[in-house]
């Protein structure tokens, strides 16, 4: 099973990487780009894990390693069975 976890900075947290991308897009002549935010996407290939256990497992992995809950939020989904 393949799980995709998207980790984003909370809206209240400054995102210097996003600001740099925005400035670079502007300098390349792209108009109308108001705001840019950059996050991480993590794909996990899980084997021998039932569908029923996945939610708990992903939440535990996010809590223990993948996400810093002070500054980040996450969403996840199963992208392939």
Residues near a second copy (CB under 8 A) are 6, 8, 18, 21, 24-25, 28, 30-49, 57, 60-61, 64-66
Burial (CB count <10 Å: 0-12, 13-18, 19+), residue 58: buried
| Whole-angstrom distance, CA of residue 58 vs CA of residue 53 | 9
- At its nearest, how many Å lie between a second copy and the CB of residue 21? 7
- At its nearest, how many Å lie between a second copy and the CB of residue 29? 9
- At its nearest, how many Å lie between a second copy and the CB of residue 40? 6
Comparing CB distances to a second copy, the nearer of 29 and 70 is: 29
Can you tell me whether residue 73 is helix, strand or coil? strand
Closest CA to 3 of 65, 62, 46, 59: 46
């Amino acid at each position: 099973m393949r799980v995709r976890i998207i980790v984003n900075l909370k809206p209240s947290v400054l995102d210097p990487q996003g600001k740099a991308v925005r400035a670079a897009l502007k300098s390349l002549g792209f108009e109308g780009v108001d705001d840019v935010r950059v996050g991480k996407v993590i794909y996990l290939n899980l084997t021998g894990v039932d569908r029923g256990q996945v939610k708990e497992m992903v939440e535990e992995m996010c809590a223990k390693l993948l996400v810093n809950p002070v500054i980040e939020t996450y969403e996840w989904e199963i992208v392939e069975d």
